[in-house]
Amino acid sequence: MKAKDFDTSYKPSWCPGCGNFGMQIAMKNALVELGLKPENVLIVYGIGCSGNGANFTKTYVWHSLHGRSLPTAVGAKLANKDLKVIVMAGDGDGYGEGMGHFIHALRGNADITYVTHNNKLYSLTTGQAAPTSDKGTKTKSTPDGLIEVSANPMALALSAGCSFVSRGFAGDADHLKELFKSAIKHEGFSLVDVFQPCVTFNKINTFKFYFDRLYKLEEKAGYKSTDIYQAMKEALVWGNKIPYGLFYKKQRDTYGSNLPQLQGKALVKRPMKVKDIKALAKEFA
Amino acid sequence: MKTKNNLSWKVCGEAGFGIKSAGMMFGKIFMRAGYEIFDYTEYPSLIRGGHNTFQLIVDTRPVNSVTKSIDILVALNQNTISENLDEVAPGGVLIFDKEKVKVSPAKLQNRKIKGLGLPLTTMAKEAGNPLMRNVVAIGASMDLVGQNLTIANRVVTQNFKRKGKKIVDQNIKALKLGYDFAKENFQGEAICHLPTIEKKDNILITANESLALGTLAAGLNFYVAYPMTPSSSILHYLASIAEKAGIVVKHAEDEIAVLNMALGAAHVGARAMVATSGGGFALMVETLGLAGMTETPIVMVDVQRGGPATGLPTWTEQGDLQFILKAAPGEVQRIVLAPGDAVEAYELGTQAHNLAETYQLPVIILSDKFIAEGNTTMPLPSVAKVKIKRGKLLTQAQLNKIKEYRRYKVTEDGISPRALPGMKKGLYIANSDEHDPYGFSEESSENRIAQADKRARKLESFAKNLPEPLVYGNPKAKNTVVIWGSSKGVVLDAYAHLEAKYKKKIKILQLQYIWPFPAKFVSKVLEASKNTLLIETNQAGQLGQLIAQETGIMIKNKLLKYDGRPFFREEITKALKKF
């Protein structure tokens, strides 16, 4: 397989220079290097600029509703554990309408990968403030500056039991590809929140903004990604320096792995036949 | 001794008094004795206190309704006297805890009610636990209806077996104390005679549980829900047998997650179902549209309660029909089924996934609290007629033969071949956006029209195979009663007890497959009808509105009830006699 085997005939509709391009090629290369076949991958897309990627990747695809991609992915994975299930959501999509699902999916630790295209704005709807926008951000919906402080996906994920917490950057495609590979290989819920500059609407969090500030946790002396306290400390860092890479990883039971009825064959690969319910019905006698 | 062979028995008290468990045991005793049972419970939405009631009808013929009048009322608290004494029929009996409940003998005499006061608290303590007042009262009731304790002892033993021999013995003692007390102290005739008749292969079950069994028989393997009265017992039941039945049961974080999760499972090939009540269904509405757009088979259950908003959480209503018919932005094809009782809930349960997969759309089952929480006797269900029909679901071999697979291929019957993720050569986008036959987003007018028409044709294809509405009574009668859902039980029960001179004047039309609407059949029946009476438990007459919309026939004569209570048999009898 080559990356272009995951291309469709559909021409991407993203703006020239959009961080989504880098993310997409990193994901396709990750799938190739992991030896995954298109038919064994289900990508669930949210709604937003990231969601438009549904048309540009040749795998099985579910193009979901705004904010609702995670529960769909969990349902698909539980019913067919043989599929690699990846979610591509936006920050507005996933941390706005989808915030409740995010926290609960983390608790459950289903074996799926959650990639958020974090441009700190709602871009497809022309640049309103997102849950990830910083306090004071001026947009069409917040002309006097955003009143709320920004949501912190890393800290939220750590506190909600996420077993793989990471941050990538669309401007560092090689690193991102490796992060995607580790995330997909991880057994359990893996989060890759990706800084993905919006070249059209976000004039602050640009590629340069991140190049000037980002440092890799993998290169930080003494950093242990198995230590949740160190991870939480890094998750709270925001300012002149911003960390990225793998914050935290810890193996724990995945949702379904401890259900006796899900051992053996995937649920949907068992024969679909009439079930004799007589014994069950007799319990009502 | 009177020969009356049916009984209306009711036990009342605070939540926490074991009202429901007493009622369930009483029902099982008479089911085992060969009788038909229906029960009805009223309870406020709280855990302790309040006023709970459990009413049971015992009859020799199948029964799916309750009467307003009570033959035996068991009062475990004072409230019962003020709330329920008026329901006792002349000649009926009040069994009460004379240590907790005061009632004036004159009041009873005026109403021709016989009183049987027992020191229930002392007797329950003597048996070993003051909580067993309910069981002592069952014992006393047994004597009053001419049934000995043989079956009661067996039911109590089975009921408490898992709590150990000591508890079983205490309960058996409580039964005997009550029974003996009634035998020695009750003045007057027993009010009915219900000896053991014959052994039937019946079960005592609610429509929630029988629906669950029906869907299981037809291959349900993925159930997701968020608790909401009165749908929760489906979740409780399926969760309790999930491991044994080899199915996934997931309690998700909210109803939006519920339906999206179920769609994820259905998309990859599971037979998935969700159940909720009206408020939860409202949260699912956007996702219902997604099921329509992606053409994903799904079974959704709305167990209606009094709405809107939190409404009447523990009461019954048929208020969601018009909402269910159109719920979702845009135009979404769906099939709507309305079971009238537990037997129909089982049968429609066995059909629902077949329809969902054949036509690749949401199938909605509309039930309500009255049948969903009322236990009824029904024959042990059989799977002999159950079939698995998966419609145009492709096998890998079939898919291999297709040169260029199109998931949303425009076809004559509107139904397109379906591949499942994991299959080779079947890649496609299940797309929330309008899409072309491959699933790619496509907004051209030609494509939009082709896809919208294709989706609409699926329902037209089903309409050609639509089962006809059900007709009861005299098919030649000029008077027609129109019903749907849980009104079936009370209307048919009232009808069965009518004298022949009334019976021959009436036919009853029940709409079970409600959408797509069987317009031709209904028009024919109603056009031939001289007097038509619509019976529904909602304020607006929603089925009447639907009939007007689909046939142009306005039914002016309506019997509507929307106080959260079901129709009692007396109300229907009165209406039927007016013909």
Kindly report, residue by residue over A61-93, the tens digit of the pLDDT.
Answer: 999 999 999 999 999 999 999 999 999 999 999
CA distances B311 to B279, B326, B352, Å, are 9, 21, 28
3-state DSSP call for residue B510? strand
pLDDT of residue B198: 79
Give Cα A141 distance to the centre of its chain.
26
Q: Do B380 and A285 touch (CB under 8 A)?
A: yes
pLDDT of residue B5: 84
**Sequence-ordered strand ranges (E) for B112-201:** 114-118
Q: Do A281 and B424 touch (CB under 8 A)?
A: no
Q: Do A267 and B218 touch (CB under 8 A)?
A: no
Q: Which of A114, A60, A58, A57 is nearest to A83 (CA)?
A: A60
Q: Do A64 and B432 touch (CB under 8 A)?
A: yes
What phi and psi values does residue B354 have, to the nearest 5 degrees?
-60, -45
Range B204-379: architecture per CATH: 3-Layer(aba) Sandwich (3.40)
pLDDT of residue B212: 98
Q: Kindly report the number of other CB atoms within 10 A of residue B46's CB atom.
A: 12
Residue type, B316: T
The distance of A135 to chain B (nearest Cα, Å) reads 29
Residue A72 forms contact with B (CB below 8 Å): yes
Task: Give the global pTM.
Answer: 0.97
CA distances A190 to A54, A184, A258, Å, are 20, 7, 19
pLDDT of residue B570: 97
Q: Do A77 and B386 touch (CB under 8 A)?
A: no
What phi and psi values does residue A143 have, to the nearest 5 degrees?
-60, -25
pLDDT of residue B319: 98
**Tokens for B30?**
């008479």
Residue type, A214: L
List CB contacts (< 8 A) between A75 and chain B.
Answer: 222, 224, 250, 260-267, 270, 272
Q: Do B441 and A55 touch (CB under 8 A)?
A: yes
Q: Do B422 and A60 touch (CB under 8 A)?
A: yes
The distance of B257 to chain A (nearest Cα, Å) reads 5
Return the DSSP state at B545. Answer: H
Q: Do B421 and A76 touch (CB under 8 A)?
A: yes
pLDDT in tens, B90-118: 999 999 999 999 999 999 999 999 999 99
Q: What is the ipTM of this complex?
A: 0.98
Q: Do domains B204-379 and B470-577 have the same CATH topology?
A: yes
**Residues 6 or more apart whose Cβ sits within 8 Å of residue B193:** B1, B2, B3, B4, B5, B145, B146
Torsion of CA A187, A193, A194, A200, to 10 degrees: 140
The distance of A14 to chain B (nearest Cα, Å) reads 14
Note whether B428 and B404 are within 8 A (CB): no
List CB contacts (< 8 A) between A60 and chain B.
Answer: 421-422, 426-428
Residue pairs spanning A and B at CB distance below 8 A: 203
Q: Do A47 and B432 touch (CB under 8 A)?
A: yes
Q: Which of A132, A161, A130, A131 is nearest to A232 (CA)?
A: A161
Give Cα B430 distance to the centre of its chain.
34
Range B7-200: architecture per CATH: 3-Layer(aba) Sandwich (3.40)
**Tokens for A144?**
């006097």
Residue A152 forms contact with B (CB below 8 Å): no
d(CA B28, CA B150): 13
Sign of CA dihedral A74, A76, A78, A83: negative
Residue A57 forms contact with B (CB below 8 Å): no
Q: Do B224 and A75 touch (CB under 8 A)?
A: yes
pLDDT tens across the length of chain B (579 residues) = 456 789 999 999 998 889 999 999 999 999 999 999 999 999 888 877 789 999 999 999 999 999 999 999 999 999 999 999 999 999 999 999 999 999 999 999 999 999 999 999 999 999 999 999 999 999 999 999 989 999 999 999 999 999 999 999 999 999 999 999 999 999 777 778 888 887 788 999 999 999 999 999 999 999 999 999 999 999 999 999 999 999 999 999 999 999 999 999 999 999 999 999 999 999 999 999 999 999 999 999 999 999 999 999 999 999 999 999 999 999 999 999 999 999 999 999 999 999 999 999 999 999 999 999 999 999 999 999 999 999 999 999 999 999 999 999 999 999 999 999 999 999 999 999 999 999 999 999 999 999 999 999 999 999 999 999 999 999 999 999 999 999 999 999 999 999 999 999 999 999 999 999 999 999 999 999 999 999 999 999 999 999 999 999 999 999 999 999 999 999 999 999 999
Q: Kindly list the structural domains of chain A, giving each domain's residue range(s) and its CATH number in brackets, ordered by start.
A: 3-282 (3.40.50.970)
The distance of B404 to chain A (nearest Cα, Å) reads 14
B202, B257, B432 ranked by CB distance to A71: nearest: B257
d(CA B258, CA B274): 7
Q: At what angle do helices B255-267 and A69-79 cross, to 10 degrees?
A: 40
Q: Do A65 and B265 touch (CB under 8 A)?
A: no
- Structural domain boundaries in chain B: 7-200, 204-379, 396-464, 470-577
- Which H or E element spans position B73? strand B70-75
Q: Do B383 and A277 touch (CB under 8 A)?
A: yes
Note whether A20 and B405 are within 8 A (CB): no
d(CA B155, CA B171): 10
Sign of CA dihedral A137, A143, A148, A154: negative
Note whether B389 and B333 are within 8 A (CB): no
Residue A75 forms contact with B (CB below 8 Å): yes
In three-state form (DSSP H/G/I as H, E/B as E, the rest C), the secondary structure along chain A is: CCHHHHECCCCCCCCCCCHHHHHHHHHHHHHHHCCCCHHHEEEEECCCCCHHHHHHECCEEEECCCCCHHHHHHHHHHHCCCCEEEEEEEHHHHHHHCHHHHHHHHHHCCCCEEEEEECCEECCCCCEECCCCCCCCCCCCCCCCCCCCCCCHHHHHHHCCCCEEEEEECCCHHHHHHHHHHHHHCCCCEEEEEECCCCCCCCCCCHHHHHHHEEEHHHCCCCCCCCHHHHHHHHCCCCCCEEEEEEEECCCCCCCCCCHHHCCCCHHHCCCCCCCCHHHHHCCC
Question: What top-level class would CATH report for the domain B470-577?
Answer: alpha beta
d(CA B566, CA B316): 6
pLDDT of residue B1: 41
B205, B269, B424 ranked by CB distance to A39: nearest: B424
List CB contacts (< 8 A) between A274 and chain B.
Answer: 217-219, 383, 386-388
